Amino acid sequence: MFTFLKKIFSAIWSLLGGMKVTLGEFFQKNITIQYPDQKAIMHERFRGKVHLKIDENTGLSKCTACMLCQRVCPNASIEVVAGKTAEGKRVLRKYIYRLNTCTQCGLCVEACAFDAICFSAEYELAVYDRQLLVMDLNSKKVSLKVENES
């Protein structure tokens, strides 16, 4: 008899434990968003696509074209094209990024000693034309003396 009552009590206790979790979730704030009318705010560690940072003082990319990110990328997703200004300073000409082969591993971001790249929070990256997945991230150009130096 005692064993029987013990089993019933154990079953009720177990049921209450499950109900506690269910009720806890039931009264949580609703996290469903009405996409695409509403956009999700991504976590700050989210890895969208590689993004070139801009130096606030110069208005140009912080990238020095050292090519370290290109060397560490295991998928050859980065191609840095350097040039020289009239003063002979080495500067970034093009920063070709291939999103179609990038695995968001983060090695390039970790390798950059100039804090010039990071991951963006973009997540709507699907396109119909795969050519659009290959892009030049350097939109802030400087006037260059040498047209094509790598």
Q: Which residues make up the interface to ligand SF4 (CB under 6 A)?
A: 50, 63-69, 72-73, 75, 77-78, 80, 102-108, 111-112, 114, 116-117
- 3-state SS assignment for residue 132: helix
C-beta of 1 vs 81, nearer to ligand SF4: 81
C-beta of 20 vs 71, nearer to ligand SF4: 71
Beta-bridge mates of residue 119: 50
Query: Minimum distance between the CB of residue 148 and ligand SF4, rounded to whole angstroms?
Result: 17
CA distance 90 to 34: 48
- The single-letter code of the amino acid at 31 is I
CA distance 75 to 121: 21
Query: Minimum distance between the CB of residue 115 and ligand SF4, rounded to whole angstroms?
Result: 8
C-beta of 14 vs 100, nearer to ligand SF4: 100
CA distance 94 to 121: 22
CA distance 64 to 136: 15
C-beta of 78 vs 93, nearer to ligand SF4: 78
CA distance 64 to 95: 11
> Nearest 10 degrees: CA dihedral of 32, 119, 140, 149?
-150
Query: Minimum distance between the CB of residue 147 and ligand SF4, rounded to whole angstroms?
Result: 19
